[in-house]
Amino acid sequence: MRRAFLFAVVAFAVAACAGTPNGSRSRARAARIKEDPRVDELLKKMTLEEKVGQTVLFTSDWTVTGPSMRSGYLEDIKAGRCGALLNAYTADFTREVQRVAVEETRLGIPILFGYDVIHGFRTIFPINLGMSCSWDIPAIEESARIAAEEAAAAGLQWTYSPMCDISVEPRWGRISEGSGEDPYLGSLISAAMTRGYQGDDLSKDNTILACVKHFAAYGAPQAGRDYNTVDMSERWFREFYLPPYKAAIDAGALSVMASFNELDGVPAHASNHLMNEILKDEWGFEGFVVSDYTGINEMIMHGYAADESHAAELSMNAGLDMDMMSAAYMNHLTDLVKSGKVSEKTLDHAVRRILNIKAALGLLDDPYKYCDPQREKERTLTEENKAFARQFAAESMVLLKNNGVLPLKKGEKIAVLGPMAATKDDLLGSWRGAGQVEAVPASIEDAIKEVTPVAASASKVVLVLGEPWDWTGEAASRTSINLPVEQTELLKSLKKQGKTVAVVLLNGRPLDLSEESEYADAILEAWYPGTMGGYAVADVLFGDCNPSGKLSVTFPRDLGQVPIYHYAKNTGRPYIHPDAKYESRYLDCPNEPLYAFGHGLSYTTFEYSAPVIPGSTSVIPGTDRESPVLKGDGTLTVKVKVTNTGSVAGTETVQLYIRDLVGSVTRPVKQLKGFERITLQPGECREVSFTIDSEMLSFYRQDMTWGPEPGDFKVFIGGASDNVKEASFRYEI
């Protein structure tokens, strides 16, 4: 059951989809944090060592009996040498650790508790890549709000999310943790998750601090190998990779995590360009920057820092405020300040940012406000949370193919097969927070059995295939994006036996499904759908939920096509003529993807009219034809009629793309600039309008200024990036 909260923000989401800037140079400004006078008072009292302590982040552990502290860490807290902890949760445990920090240290500064709450805390939602395929911005925000409420009730105040990394690299395991390939969609999602975590008041006991990661361009590792080098032009970086980070900052995010990769030859953990020039100076960010796990001392292996002391010096001077697990700041920062290699003013700058966040969270007022065991019991894995998780999981699934097999009929005999059919563990995916397999009520097989007789001899087969959950996520890169060969052979064997086969996929990356698409009668991309995923799959298979998901990332026909994405450029020899040799093409594979960005089928069908652009026109230079015109800072409206031509109600995501035909630098063949989700009854027709303004046409021009250029444009509207109808207009200054 969707909470009433969602309906209050639908109007905002639709407006944002229709006209929000892509995030490269948003009109919004980074959230300003209130300076707390108690922070200055604390800074005056703190020794140099105590200041350094606030920049140190260590971890707790988890044993079979619950959370525990590593040897020596509790003493570090008592001595003021550690100001934050990750992986410590439960209300009782965090209360005791907080008691030590507040009551057994000289200044009584509370600890900040953080955790990887990525796609849910106890109630686990679909993996982030799956979430993004819902294109449902209010629902994504609601999932973060529920996660924040559960996490805050367990003593946490900080999550290392949203992950804002755009990626067109399916070999990279952490593509599962992001929102796909598109900077526009990714920006809306990162802002929504930030709002969901932080709410409208960070001091409330059901909100937590968001952390924008990984800054920056972590999603573009060479060869798809995690932690690897990233290298791209400043123009491409700013236009296609940077916008989602900026959108999260503009939405109010007050912490940022540096990325493991290097960019332009400099490890991000020591990049003055990223952390000072862009984040703090250009964007006005007033929160704090934290390293990734041991990211500071890893610069030694990068070949950028000579030793741990040098690494600490480089990071602090570049604007990195908090050290996660390197211990480089704890071991060396005091001496670096005394020697003058790091100024005390620079250290004070970092400590002030950290303390202001602790104040904003209300920790200086009540350090135990997040440590309430009764609230933890009441707000965790509630029936309402699970009901939302079930609906959201179904919304996130993408029907890739359907030869009339789905939906299944209730009561007919179905065989449920495949290595992923009976698993509950794989439903949760990677980065499952504090989610537990014991809380998963049903596997896919269990859920189907509750609806339909399951018989080995049935002619219809639900075949559940995919990747084991630990094949995706951090340090889970693959050189192949195929299913395990034995899974494909099982599908082929069933088809040879004359079976009708509907494949359900559990996976965390785009896969090469060229063989599976040839043999399967239907393919439902379910991702890793979370705690209620088994039931959600059954809801979709039997038509209780009409699938509405759309791909947020391109599925290639072959790994050799990678990187493949919808906003590619045309080249000087685009592939136009089927028999031409000297055009940009492959000898052994079509250029087109197997399943394009924005693709997703339904149990009904939708028909689009040609787009119409009403209003004034002008003559196209050199022709006698007229074109609609957008002038200066004005607006232009494009309208399309969408009709449900099927027999059941369905939800369609109407997608708007724009192409700038000629620019001072070459432009992509299509760029997503808006979308609207609409639900239509059978036979219902609705007009959908989008408003185009000059900001939607803007880009980094040849001189790296941001803005539009006059000329001719195409606008495309449809149900997928490769299934659109087009119109044209001109922009005049």
The tens digit of pLDDT for each residue in 247-279 reads 999 999 999 999 999 999 999 999 999 999 999
pLDDT at 619: 77
Whether residue 425 lies in the annotated active site: no
Of the two residues 21 and 707, the one the predictor is more confident about is 707
The tokens describing 701, both together, are 């021009």
**Alpha carbon distances (Å) from 191 to 184, 198, 253, 389:** 11, 11, 8, 20
% pLDDT > 70, the chain: 95
> What is the C-alpha separation between 121 and 386, in angstroms, rounded?
12
Average pLDDT rounded to a whole number, residues 698-727: 98
pLDDT in tens, 465-491: 999 999 999 999 999 999 999 999 999
pLDDT at 165: 98
pLDDT of residue 9 exceeding 90: no
Mention every residue, 6+ apart, whose C-beta is less than 8 A from residue 592: 557, 722
pLDDT of residue 65 exceeding 70: no
pLDDT of residue 18 exceeding 50: no
pLDDT at 30: 59
Mention every residue, 6+ apart, whose C-beta is less than 8 A from residue 225: 171, 172, 477
> What is the C-alpha separation between 527 and 537, in angstroms, rounded?
10
pLDDT at 17: 35
The tokens describing 489, both together, are 């052979």
- 3-class DSSP state of 279: helix
pLDDT of residue 217 exceeding 90: yes
Average pLDDT rounded to a whole number, residues 426-435: 96
Host H or E run for residue 456: none
> What is the C-alpha separation between 163 and 219, in angstroms, rounded?
10
Average pLDDT rounded to a whole number, residues 412-436: 96
Residue closest to 208 by CA, chosen among 157, 254, 173: 157
State the SS3 of 583-633: CCCCCCCCCCCCECCCCCECCCCEEECCCECCCCEEECCCCCCEEEEEECC
Reported for 301-305, long-range contacts at CB under 8 A and 24+ positions apart, including other chains, are 302/262, 302/267, 304/262, 304/266, 304/267, 304/270, 305/270
> What is the C-alpha separation between 507 and 484, in angstroms, rounded?
12
Reported for 628-632, long-range contacts at CB under 8 A and 24+ positions apart, including other chains, are 628/727, 628/728, 628/729, 628/730, 629/729, 629/730, 629/731, 629/732, 630/692, 630/693, 630/694, 630/697, 630/729, 630/730, 630/731, 630/732, 631/731, 631/732, 631/733, 632/694, 632/732, 632/733
> What is the C-alpha separation between 38 and 36, in angstroms, rounded?
5
Average pLDDT rounded to a whole number, residues 371-394: 97
pLDDT in tens, 632-663: 999 999 999 999 999 999 999 999 999 999 99
The tokens describing 129, both together, are 């890549």
57-95 exposure pattern, b = at least 16 Cβ within 10 A, e = fewer: bbbbeeeeeebebeeebbebbeebbbbbbbebbbbebbb
Count of positions (residues) in the chain: 733
> What is the C-alpha separation between 469 and 173, in angstroms, rounded?
11
pLDDT of residue 11 exceeding 60: no
The residue whose two tokens read 């009403």 is 614
For each of the domains in the chain, give its residue range(s) and CATH number, in order of start: 4-376 (3.20.20.300), 409-601 (3.40.50.1700), 606-732 (2.60.40.10)
Average pLDDT rounded to a whole number, residues 176-189: 98
Residue closest to 128 by CA, chosen among 207, 202, 193, 43: 193
The region of weakest confidence among 352-361, 396-405, 614-623 is 614-623
Per-residue pLDDT band at 13 (split at 50, 70, 90) = very low
Amino acid at 413: K
Peptide bond before residue 216 is cis, with ω within 30 degrees of 0: yes
Mention every residue, 6+ apart, whose C-beta is less than 8 A from residue 578: none
Amino acid at 638: V
Per-residue pLDDT band at 4 (split at 50, 70, 90) = very low
pLDDT of residue 21 exceeding 50: no
> What is the C-alpha separation between 437 and 410, in angstroms, rounded?
28
CA within 13 Å, CB half, 278: 21
> What is the C-alpha separation between 727 and 637, in angstroms, rounded?
12
pLDDT at 390: 98
Contact 571, 422 (CB under 8 A): no
pLDDT in tens, 101-137: 999 999 999 999 999 999 999 999 999 999 999 999 9
Host H or E run for residue 551: none
pLDDT of residue 541 exceeding 80: yes
pLDDT in tens, 25-59: 444 455 567 889 999 999 999 999 999 999 999 99
Other beta carbons less than 10 A from residue 602's beta carbon: 20
- Predicted TM-score (pTM) of the model is 0.95
Catalytic member of 36, 292, 521, 693: 292
pLDDT in tens, 435-468: 999 999 999 999 999 999 898 889 999 999 999 9
pLDDT of residue 290 exceeding 80: yes
- 3-class DSSP state of 188: helix
Average pLDDT rounded to a whole number, residues 287-309: 98
Per-residue pLDDT band at 626 (split at 50, 70, 90) = confident
Per-residue pLDDT band at 524 (split at 50, 70, 90) = very high
CA within 13 Å, CB half, 602: 28
pLDDT at 118: 97
% pLDDT > 90, the chain: 90
Q: What's the burial of 493, exposed, middle or buried (CB within 10 Å: 0-12/13-18/19+)?
A: exposed
- What's the chain's average pLDDT? 94
Mention every residue, 6+ apart, whose C-beta is less than 8 A from residue 233: none
pLDDT at 31: 59
Cα Rg for the chain, rounded, in angstroms? 26
pLDDT at 571: 95
pLDDT at 394: 98
pLDDT of residue 616 exceeding 90: no
pLDDT in tens, 665-683: 999 999 999 999 999 999 9
CA max distance for the chain: 83
Q: What sign does the dihedral 297-299-300-302 (CA atoms) show?
A: positive
Contact 524, 503 (CB under 8 A): yes
pLDDT at 64: 61
- 3-class DSSP state of 525: strand
pLDDT of residue 548 exceeding 50: yes
pLDDT of residue 1 exceeding 50: no
Average pLDDT rounded to a whole number, residues 156-178: 98
pLDDT in tens, 301-327: 999 999 999 999 999 999 999 999 999
